[in-house]
């Protein structure tokens, strides 16, 4: 079994929850050629180990007057011979470890001894349910008359991608040793599942005249091509087909698999450009003779797009013997869902014809793309032909062509977008059955009920019921500058005999997100045993909801993150005829901006929020990419609620439902319905080991038109340290929170105030930039100075990351300190204590247009002056950077330890700066904070991490530092700690005299918080003070400093 | 076009079909067999869905049905609890392909008798679960195979033995949705033939 990932103690416990519960499989039993669990991963047996099996020690079938006995050995040999076909695949490493026989005959009486969780100690059992009693036990009396058998591989460890136990039950009552018989095909098919394969669809006709679309079991099927893993079984040869060979080899490849075969890769898009998950892609061998392309009846290989849940429409067709191929897409059989599913998408778009890849002529427009035109691909062993991209041929906006159970994409007019449950759409799918859906259509036969409304795609349903515009009436759209109205005009309910009365109703989408339904005439019957119809809105992919009496709700009916609907169970209940329903989204009017979202398999961005309001807060959490579009993550935006005085802490992967192996690169905006929300975010590594890099800040709540990045180290040896200059890079991250594009002028100044270089960048609306200094300014090395960013537009937000080999220093951009003349740091440490050395580097920048006289004063814990540096004259754009030990005469970092605070005074506004502190040798740990000008009387630190374990790497501390800058007053400070549910876990008071400073770990001050993981700290003071929070582990592989969110 | 209502696949295509395969393989069963294997047949409404205590390592779901019309082995108006092994999800214990039901759903179910563990399942899995279609000419029902299995491997003569008239047989042979009352009548006739001494397939 794969090594288990150690369960780490938690620095940010709720953030790290994902590490313990990753990738819970979500697909039902189904999924193309294999079982995906997201982000390119799938379940299989450990390829480095043989898959063992152990056979029942009883007869396969007892004899009776009609059938002779099938002995244990006959049955076992039949099973071995059958499953050997998977082993015999030369390009797959499937090996079986035949462990002989179980010690006893397994029957219903002793079955529990080998079933999960008891398991068979001997291996994965293959049970001969000789009399069918086991099947009858679990599936009911009489079930052995129809259930032939089942295989059920399971994983015991959800961290794992390997199966670790499987159970196969074969029903002796239906056993039949006829070669190539259905029983043998069943065994081979079930062992395909046992090994991790799932169904494939190959060999179906494009349609079967008069029988379409139920072409799944058609007599016109090409049985020569249909693989063993086809969802229906027919008698005939049970030889593995190329598709079976390709995919078992994909799961368990030999070292030379990629050399023996070729591969075709590509993507499939919808006509409108979006990814197309759930299309069947087939490579068919062809021969070309004098321009005529002839398809082979065998050797086909297929896959379902996005079979690895990549959400890109991608596919790959491995295991192709060298030769010429054509590639086409086709719809999946609508009957192949649930237990017989092909691919992981039971809801899939199907309204497109079979369409061959034809190179540059590919188009989604059937008028431009001859879908039968084939581009022949010459596949060679050992080579991959990439970028074979197809576009499904679809009509758009032709609502008059809607048939029964049909759907049609409707692309909005240029410039019109419609916001719905946090996402903004440029198109909608109009479904015959009385509604609109987003992302994917819904034109299929099935219950038009509450569950369909809840669990399907995002939906606006003026009347979800079985309507048939092909019989009479029309679905049409009427557009204006600010709205679009879709009208079902005289459309009757479907009926096999026709003649149902017309129904007329409409839905109007307004540009501002408001929606209205109007009903003129309605006359329909209950639909498919599931009621009369459903009216309402749903964000989709829900598992539950509550039906409401919509006509009794106050208009407009508000919606945010849950479905709002009414399920009408009987016709007399339908009380909407002649009325209009108005819906309006509940807005999030206040925004928090996090300028950088980063992440990959090892690195994360985590977010924490505390709702300081006395009421629930609605949250809309969006992640945007550099182009300003919402990143294609499953739960982006994340719509949720945060109860009063509770805290939420999540990894970005968790918030957006994305696997950690999927790259995250963008920025995050969190909209809240009430403004009093504290925030916190951290970037770091540690998803695959001990955290060695971590730092962060709080969110911006406003934008700046001029931003400053004060700490610059970029290039080889650009960061000074006792062990010698360290290599460093500095990344600048900027985000544009506006509805309009902005232009950025970035200017690099050296310490003397000389402008060295300039860069200009454009940021689209909601777009972002992440770029290193070298790329921006073309400088081989930068050490010191600062970057000024001038925004042409309403503003921007920014964050900088200085990355060293073992440390990450990160803090928010400054807006320039337009009014204050004094700034502070509650943390100033220098020297060695207990064998631990620490340094502090201070940096000040004069951003004003005039020379400033700047004085830096180091104070001890009692508020006594330790040293003064200055006054020094800093010209406009000049900066000063130095080691505190040297500047204030505190001695080297190897000397006696000093701790205190820093005060920076200037004779006018515009002086900003930062402090960096940490390990002086090579910055094994370190943290950075901007100098603080905003003093607090009420503030929140939005995370607590006091994990206690026996391992110093995973035991963490939370520290606080306070400084009272007042020259007269004593600060009475109250520190209250709460868990994430808002329950107070401890408190303390602290009196700080004028100029005094204190720092401590939270546990030291409030022992009850020992072990607390999650929650927040509320700080209140009668006198404005300066404070900061520090996180680290006891091994000090990292340190992170974060300012508070100041409310007063 | 209606998927279930129009799926008139030629019977010849089913001559060698074993039924839908998933990680559970189920053979095709005709109406005569379905009645024979079923302990209870009823039109019911699902009024409750609950997780129940697992059995033999399998997760179990308990569904409560209100019987709207009892057809075999159960009376109208009764409430019945249907306990089934959960449908297995990827990599999770269960029996893949086991049908499941939603609260509020109205269905016709052909259920096996409860096992000693109190577990059951629909006969032929999806073949024993019929959804309802309210149509102008009455309530119709259709199962997971579009009713294509109802006369599978069943000759007219065998149908007669089971108590079906030629007209009834023809209705089922066409496959596609059938009137609920036609199905209920046929089930009662077939069951009567068993009670009258015809050899049970079980």
Tell me which residue of A337, A341, A320, A350 sits closest to A246, measured CA to CA: A320
> What does the DSSP assignment read for A942-987?
---B----S-TTT-EEEEEEEE---SSPPEEEEEEEE-TTS-EEEE
Kindly state the percentage of chain A with pLDDT values over 70. Answer: 91
Chain A hits for B113, Cβ within 8 Å: 140-142
Chain B hits for A108, Cβ within 8 Å: 116
Q: Point out the residue among B36, B39, B56 whose CB comes nearest to the CB of A111.
A: B56
Q: Say if CB B58 and CB B120 are below 8 A apart.
A: no
Q: Say if CB B67 and CB B77 are below 8 A apart.
A: yes
Look at B94 and A211 and tell me if their CB atoms are within 8 Å. no
Task: Please give the Cα distance from A997 to A147 (Å, whole number).
Answer: 76
Chain B hits for A190, Cβ within 8 Å: 23, 25
Look at B88 and A152 and tell me if their CB atoms are within 8 Å. yes
Tell me the nearest-neighbour CA distance from A686 into chain B, angstroms: 28
Look at B57 and A112 and tell me if their CB atoms are within 8 Å. yes
Look at B97 and A338 and tell me if their CB atoms are within 8 Å. yes
> What does the DSSP assignment read for A380-421?
-TT-EE----EE----BS-GGG--TT-EEEEEPPTT--EEET
Chain A hits for B22, Cβ within 8 Å: 29-30, 193, 199, 231, 338-341
Q: In the predicted model, is pLDDT for residue A222 greater than 80?
A: no
CA contacts within 13 A on the Cβ side of B165: 6
Q: Say if CB A545 and CB A454 are below 8 A apart.
A: yes
> Is the link from the previous residue into A117 a cis peptide, with omega within 30 of 0?
yes
pLDDT at A215: 43
In tens, the pLDDT along B131-140 reads 887 666 778 8
Look at B135 and A525 and tell me if their CB atoms are within 8 Å. yes
Segment among A231-240, A286-295, A865-874, A943-952 with least mean pLDDT: A231-240
Chain B hits for A528, Cβ within 8 Å: 131-134
Task: Please give the Cα distance from A50 to A98 (Å, whole number).
Answer: 9
Q: Point out the residue among B26, B91, B116 whose CB comes nearest to the CB of A148.
A: B26
pLDDT at A792: 97
Q: Which residue of A has its CA nearest to B126?
A: A339
Question: N- to C-terminal Cα distance for chain A?
Answer: 55
Tell me what ipTM this predicted complex has: 0.89
Task: Please give the Cα distance from B190 to B161 (Å, whole number).
Answer: 9
pLDDT at A159: 60
pLDDT at A32: 38
Segment among A134-148, A450-464, B90-104 with least mean pLDDT: B90-104
pLDDT band at A389 (very low <50, low <70, confident <90, very high): very high
Q: Point out the residue among B17, B20, B88 whose CB comes nearest to the CB of A29.
A: B88
Q: In the predicted model, is pLDDT for residue A1021 greater than 90?
A: yes
Q: In the predicted model, is pLDDT for residue A31 greater than 70?
A: no
Two structure tokens written together for B133: 């279609």
Look at A25 and B90 and tell me if their CB atoms are within 8 Å. yes
Q: Point out the residue among B39, B89, B148 whose CB comes nearest to the CB of A142.
A: B39
pLDDT at B197: 85
Tell me the nearest-neighbour CA distance from A348 into chain B, angstroms: 15
Higher pLDDT, A801 or A224: A801
Q: Specify the DSSP class assigned to residue A346.
A: S
pLDDT at A7: 25
User: Which value, in Å, is the radius of gyration of the alpha carbons in chain A?
Assistant: 33
pLDDT at A271: 80
pLDDT band at A473 (very low <50, low <70, confident <90, very high): very high
Q: Say if CB A709 and CB A786 are below 8 A apart.
A: yes
Chain A hits for B123, Cβ within 8 Å: 142-143, 146
pLDDT at A137: 92
Give every CB contact of residue A616 below 8 A, 6+ residues apart in sequence: A641, A642, A643, A644
CA contacts within 13 A on the Cβ side of A466: 26
Task: Please give the Cα distance from A390 to A406 (Å, whole number).
Answer: 22
Tell me the nearest-neighbour CA distance from A391 into chain B, angstroms: 24
Task: Please give the Cα distance from A327 to A884 (Å, whole number).
Answer: 68
Look at B112 and A143 and tell me if their CB atoms are within 8 Å. yes
In tens, the pLDDT along A316-330 reads 999 999 999 999 999
Two structure tokens written together for B130: 């019929």
Cβ burial B178-201 (10 Å sphere, 16+ → b, else e): bbbebbbebbeebbebbeeeeeee
Q: Point out the residue among A147, A497, A526 whose CB comes nearest to the CB of B136.
A: A497
Q: Which of B16, B18, B65, B146 to mutate to test binding with chain A, by most A CBs within 10 Å of its CB?
A: B18
Rounded to an integer, the average pLDDT of A549-560 is 93
Q: Which of B24, B46, B113 to mutate to test binding with chain A, by most A CBs within 10 Å of its CB?
A: B24
Contact pairs from chain A to chain B, CB under 8 Å: 274
Tell me which residue of A407, A397, A363, A538 sits closest to A477, measured CA to CA: A397
Look at B104 and A449 and tell me if their CB atoms are within 8 Å. yes
Question: N- to C-terminal Cα distance for chain B?
Answer: 39
Chain B hits for A125, Cβ within 8 Å: none
Look at B104 and A530 and tell me if their CB atoms are within 8 Å. yes
pTM score of the predicted model: 0.63
CA-based angle A706:A709:A713, to the nearest 5?
Answer: 155
Count Cβ atoms below 10 Å from residue A770 Cβ, excluding itself.
19
In tens, the pLDDT along A368-387 reads 899 999 999 999 999 999 99
Q: In the predicted model, is pLDDT for residue A341 greater than 90?
A: no
Chain A hits for B92, Cβ within 8 Å: 25, 154-155
Look at B21 and A186 and tell me if their CB atoms are within 8 Å. yes
- List for chain B the helix, strand, coil content (%; round to 5): 20, 35, 45
> Taking the alpha carbons of B193, B194, B200, B202 in that order, is the dihedral positive or negative?
positive
Two structure tokens written together for B100: 């499941």
Higher pLDDT, A580 or A122: A580
Rounded to an integer, the average pLDDT of A455-466 is 93
What backbone phi and psi angles, to 5 degrees, belong to A96? -110, 140
Q: In the predicted model, is pLDDT for residue A944 greater than 50?
A: yes
Q: In the predicted model, is pLDDT for residue A443 greater than 90?
A: no
pLDDT band at A212 (very low <50, low <70, confident <90, very high): very low
Q: Say if CB A841 and CB A735 are below 8 A apart.
A: no
**Average of per-residue pLDDT values in chain A:** 87
Burial tier of A754 (Cβ tally within 10 Å: 0-12, 13-18, 19+): exposed
**Average of per-residue pLDDT values in chain B:** 80
Look at A112 and B56 and tell me if their CB atoms are within 8 Å. yes
**A729 to A575, A682, A712, A756, A786: CA distances (angstroms):** 66, 18, 8, 18, 14
Chain A hits for B136, Cβ within 8 Å: 495, 497, 499-500, 525
Look at A145 and B107 and tell me if their CB atoms are within 8 Å. no
pLDDT band at A421 (very low <50, low <70, confident <90, very high): very high
Rounded to an integer, the average pLDDT of A139-159 is 78
Burial tier of A349 (Cβ tally within 10 Å: 0-12, 13-18, 19+): buried
Cβ burial A531-559 (10 Å sphere, 16+ → b, else e): bbbbbbbbbbeeeebebeebeeeeeebeb
Chain B hits for A524, Cβ within 8 Å: none
Task: Please give the Cα distance from A255 to A271 (Å, whole number).
Answer: 39
Rounded to an integer, the average pLDDT of A891-908 is 91
pLDDT band at B88 (very low <50, low <70, confident <90, very high): low
Q: Specify the DSSP class assigned to residue A442.
A: -
Rounded to an integer, the average pLDDT of A825-838 is 89
Tell me which residue of A172, A132, A66 sits closest to B199, measured CA to CA: A66
In tens, the pLDDT along B171-187 reads 998 777 899 999 999 99
Place of tokens 């609920």: B180
Task: Please give the Cα distance from A682 to A523 (Å, whole number).
Answer: 57
Residue A471 CA to its chain's centroid (Å): 43
Look at A530 and B93 and tell me if their CB atoms are within 8 Å. no
pLDDT band at A197 (very low <50, low <70, confident <90, very high): confident
Q: Say if CB A920 and CB A893 are below 8 A apart.
A: yes
Q: Say if CB A662 and CB A604 are below 8 A apart.
A: no
Q: Specify the DSSP class assigned to residue B201.
A: -
Tell me which residue of B107, B114, B113 sits closest to B128, measured CA to CA: B107
Kindly state the percentage of chain A with pLDDT values over 90. Answer: 61
Return the top range by mean pLDDT from A18-27, A463-472, A745-754, A947-956: A745-754
pLDDT at B18: 37
Tell me the nearest-neighbour CA distance from B193 into chain A, angstroms: 18
Q: Point out the residue among B3, B21, B37 whose CB comes nearest to the CB of A232.
A: B21
Rounded to an integer, the average pLDDT of A279-296 is 94
pLDDT at A216: 60
Q: Specify the DSSP class assigned to residue A228.
A: T
Q: In the predicted model, is pLDDT for residue A41 greater than 90?
A: no
Q: Which residue of A has its CA nearest to B127?
A: A146
pLDDT at A530: 57
Q: Which of A107, A139, A532 to mutate to test binding with chain B, by most B CBs within 10 Å of its CB?
A: A139
Instruction: Tell how strand A125-129 and strand A165-171 pair up.
Output: parallel
Segment among A12-26, A189-203, A648-662, A1022-1036 with least mean pLDDT: A12-26
Count Cβ atoms below 10 Å from residue A688 Cβ, excluding itself.
12
SS3 of residue A592 by DSSP: strand
pLDDT band at A158 (very low <50, low <70, confident <90, very high): low
Two structure tokens written together for A594: 């996090």
Q: Say if CB A325 and CB A376 are below 8 A apart.
A: yes
Segment among A535-544, A704-713, A851-860 with least mean pLDDT: A535-544
Question: Residue by residue, what is the 3-state secondary structure of A483-538?
Answer: EEEEEEEEEEECCCCCCCCEEEEEEEEECCCCEEEEEEECCCCCCCCCCCEEEEEE
CA-based angle A855:A860:A864, to the nearest 5?
Answer: 75
Tell me the nearest-neighbour CA distance from A107 into chain B, angstroms: 12
- List for chain A the helix, strand, coil content (%; round to 5): 10, 40, 50
pLDDT at A219: 53
Q: Which of B12, B91, B142, B179 to mutate to test binding with chain A, by most A CBs within 10 Å of its CB?
A: B91
Segment among A434-448, A553-567, B19-33 with least mean pLDDT: B19-33
E strand segments, A804-887? 808-812, 822-833, 836-846, 852-860, 865-874, 879-883
Q: Which of A339, A453, A495 to mutate to test binding with chain B, by most B CBs within 10 Å of its CB?
A: A339
Residues β-bridged to residue A1013: A945
SS3 of residue A170 by DSSP: strand
Q: Which of B115, B140, B171 to mutate to test binding with chain A, by most A CBs within 10 Å of its CB?
A: B115
Residue A516 CA to its chain's centroid (Å): 32
Look at B14 and A153 and tell me if their CB atoms are within 8 Å. no
Look at B24 and A339 and tell me if their CB atoms are within 8 Å. yes
Two structure tokens written together for A685: 């590594």
Q: Say if CB A250 and CB A318 are below 8 A apart.
A: yes
Chain A hits for B55, Cβ within 8 Å: 138
Q: Point out the residue among B14, B23, B112 whose CB comes nearest to the CB of A141.
A: B112
Tell me which residue of A1020, A944, A1029, A1010 sits closest to A980, measured CA to CA: A944
């Amino acid at each position: 079994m794969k090594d288990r990932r150690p369960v780490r103690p938690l620095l940010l416990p709720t953030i790290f929850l994902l590490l313990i519960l990753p990738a819970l499989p979500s697909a039902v039993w189904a999924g193309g050629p294999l079982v995906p669990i997201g982000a390119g991963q799938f379940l299989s047996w450990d390829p480095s180990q043989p898959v063992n099996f152990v056979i029942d020690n009883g007869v396969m079938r007892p004899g009776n007057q009609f059938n002779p006995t099938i002995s244990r050995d006959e049955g076992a040999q039949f099973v071995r011979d059958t499953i050997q076909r998977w082993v015999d695949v030369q390009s797959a490493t499937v090996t079986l470890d035949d462990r002989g026989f179980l010690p006893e005959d397994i029957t219903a009486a002793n079955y529990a001894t080998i079933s999960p969780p008891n398991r068979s100690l001997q291996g994965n059992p293959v049970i001969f349910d000789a009399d069918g009693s086991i099947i009858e036990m679990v599936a009911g009396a009489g079930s052995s008359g129809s259930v032939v058998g089942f295989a059920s591989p399971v994983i015991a460890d959800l961290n794992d991608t390997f199966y670790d136990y499987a159970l196969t039950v074969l029903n002796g009552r239906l056993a039949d040793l006829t070669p190539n018989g259905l029983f043998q095909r069943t065994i081979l098919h079930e062992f395909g599942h046992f090994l991790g394969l799932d169904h494939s669809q190959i060999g179906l006709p494009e349609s079967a005249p008069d029988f379409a679309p139920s072409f799944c079991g058609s007599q016109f099927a090409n049985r020569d091509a249909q693989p063993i893993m086809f969802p229906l079984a027919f008698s005939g040869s049970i030889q593995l087909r190329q598709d079976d060979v390709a995919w078992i080899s994909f799961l368990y490849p030999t070292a030379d698999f990629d050399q023996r075969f070729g591969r075709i890769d590509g993507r499939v898009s919808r006509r409108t450009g979006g990814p197309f998950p759930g299309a069947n892609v087939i490579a068919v061998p062809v021969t070309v003779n004098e321009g005529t392309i002839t398809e082979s009846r065998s050797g086909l290989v297929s896959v379902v797009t996005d079979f690895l849940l990549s959400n890109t429409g991608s596919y790959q067709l491995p295991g192709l013997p060298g030769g010429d191929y054509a590639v086409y897409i086709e719809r999946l059989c609508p009957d192949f869902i649930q237990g017989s599913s092909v691919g992981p998408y039971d809801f899939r778009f199907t309204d497109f014809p079979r369409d061959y890849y034809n190179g540059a002529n590919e188009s989604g427009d059937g008028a431009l793309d001859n879908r039968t035109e084939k581009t022949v691909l010459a596949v060679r062993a050992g080579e991959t032909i990439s970028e074979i991209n197809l576009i499904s041929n679809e009509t758009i906006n032709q609502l008059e062509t809607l048939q029964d159970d049909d759907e049609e994409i409707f692309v909005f007019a240029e410039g019109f977008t419609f916001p719905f449950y946090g996402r903004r759409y440029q198109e909608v799918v109009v479904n015959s059955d009385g509604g609109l859906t987003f992302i994917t259509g819904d034109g299929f036969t099935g219950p038009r009920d509450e569950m369909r409304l809840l669990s399907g795609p995002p939906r606006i349903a003026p009347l979800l019921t079985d309507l048939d515009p092909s019989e009479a009436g029309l679905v049409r759209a009427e557009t204006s500058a600010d709205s679009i109205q879709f009208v079902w005009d005289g459309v009757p309910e479907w009926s096999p005999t026709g003649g149902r009365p017309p129904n007329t109703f409409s839905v109007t989408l307004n540009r501002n997100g408001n929606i209205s339904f109007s009903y003129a005439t309605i006359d329909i019957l209950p639909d498919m045993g599931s009621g009369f119809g459903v009216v309402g809105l749903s964000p989709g992919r829900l598992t539950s909801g509550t039906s409401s009496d919509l006509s009794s709700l106050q208009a407009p009916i508000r919606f945010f993150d849950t479905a709002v609907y009414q399920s009408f169970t009987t016709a007399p209940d339908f009380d909407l005829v002649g009325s209009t329903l108005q819906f309006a989204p509940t807005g999030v009017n206040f925004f928090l901006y996090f300028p950088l979202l980063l992440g990959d398999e090892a690195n994360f961005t985590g977010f924490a929020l505390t709702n300081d309001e006395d009421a629930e807060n609605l949250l809309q959490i969006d992640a945007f990419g550099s182009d300003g579009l919402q990143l294609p993550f499953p739960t982006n935006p994340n719509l949720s609620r945060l109860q009063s005085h509770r805290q939420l802490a999540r990894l970005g992967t968790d918030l957006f439902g994305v696997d950690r192996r999927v790259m995250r690169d963008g920025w995050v905006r969190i909209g809240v319905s009430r403004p009093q929300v504290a925030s916190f975010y951290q970037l770091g590594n540690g998803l695959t080991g001990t955290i060695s890099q971590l730092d962060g800040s709080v969110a911006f709540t406003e934008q700046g038109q001029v931003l400053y990045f004060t700490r610059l180290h970029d290039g080889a040896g650009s960061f000074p340290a006792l062990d010698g200059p360290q290599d460093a890079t500095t990344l600048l991250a900027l985000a544009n929170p506006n509805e309009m594009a902005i232009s950025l002028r970035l200017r690099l100044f050296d310490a003397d105030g000389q402008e060295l270089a300039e860069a200009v960048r454009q940021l689209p609306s909601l777009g972002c930039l992440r770029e290193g200094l070298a790329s921006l300014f073309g400088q081989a090395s930068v050490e010191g100075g600062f970057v000024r960013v001038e925004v042409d537009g309403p503003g921007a937000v920014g964050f900088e990351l200085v990355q060293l080999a073992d440390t990450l220093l990160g803090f928010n951009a400054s807006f320039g300190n337009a009014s204050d003349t004094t700034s502070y740091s509650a943390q100033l440490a220098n020297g060695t204590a207990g064998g631990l050395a620490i340094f502090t580097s201070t940096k000040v920048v004069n951003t004003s247009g005039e020379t400033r006289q700047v004085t830096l004063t180091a104070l001890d814990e009692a508020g006594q002056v330790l040293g003064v540096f200055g006054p020094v004259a800093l010209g406009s754009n000049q900066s000063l950077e130095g080691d505190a030990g040297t500047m204030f005469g505190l001695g080297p970092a190897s000397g006696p330890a000093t701790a205190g605070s820093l005060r920076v005074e200037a004779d006018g506004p515009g002086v900003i700066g930062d402090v960096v502190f940490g390990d002086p040798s090579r910055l094994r740990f370190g943290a950075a904070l901007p100098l603080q000008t905003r003093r607090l009387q009420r503030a929140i630190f939005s995370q607590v991490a006091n994990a206690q374990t026996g391992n110093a790497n995973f035991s963490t501390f939370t520290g606080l530092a306070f400084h009272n800058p007042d020259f007269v007053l004593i600060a009475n400070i109250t520190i209250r700690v709460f868990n994430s549910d808002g329950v107070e876990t401890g408190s303390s008071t602290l009196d700080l005299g004028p100029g005094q400073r204190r720092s401590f770990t939270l546990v030291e001050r409030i022992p009850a918080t020992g072990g607390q993981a999650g929650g927040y700290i509320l700080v209140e003071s009668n006198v404005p003070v300066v404070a900061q929070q520090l996180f680290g582990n006891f091994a000090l592989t990292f340190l992170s400093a974060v300012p508070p969110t100041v409310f007063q | 076009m209606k998927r279930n209502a129009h799926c008139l696949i030629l019977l010849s295509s089913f001559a060698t079909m074993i039924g839908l395969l998933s990680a559970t393989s189920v053979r095709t069963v005709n109406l005569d067999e379905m009645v024979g294997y079923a302990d209870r047949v009823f039109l019911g409404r699902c009024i409750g869905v609950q997780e129940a205590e697992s059995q033999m390592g399998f997760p179990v779901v308990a569904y409560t049905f209100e019987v709207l019309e009892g057809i075999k082995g159960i009376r109208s108006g009764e409430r019945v609890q249907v306990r089934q092994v959960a449908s297995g999800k990827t990599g999770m214990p269960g029996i893949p392909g086991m049908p499941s039901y939603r609260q509020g759903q109205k269905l016709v179910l052909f259920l096996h008798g409860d096992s000693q563990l109190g577990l059951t399942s629909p006969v032929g899995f999806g073949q024993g679960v019929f959804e309802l279609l309210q149509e102008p000419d009455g309530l119709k029902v259709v199962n997971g195979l579009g009713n294509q299995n109802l006369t599978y491997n069943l000759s007219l003569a065998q149908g007669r033995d089971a108590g079906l008239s030629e007209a009834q047989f023809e209705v089922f042979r066409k496959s596609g949705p059938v009137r609920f009352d036609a199905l209920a009548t046929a089930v009662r006739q077939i069951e009567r033939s068993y009670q009258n001494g015809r050899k049970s397939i079980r």
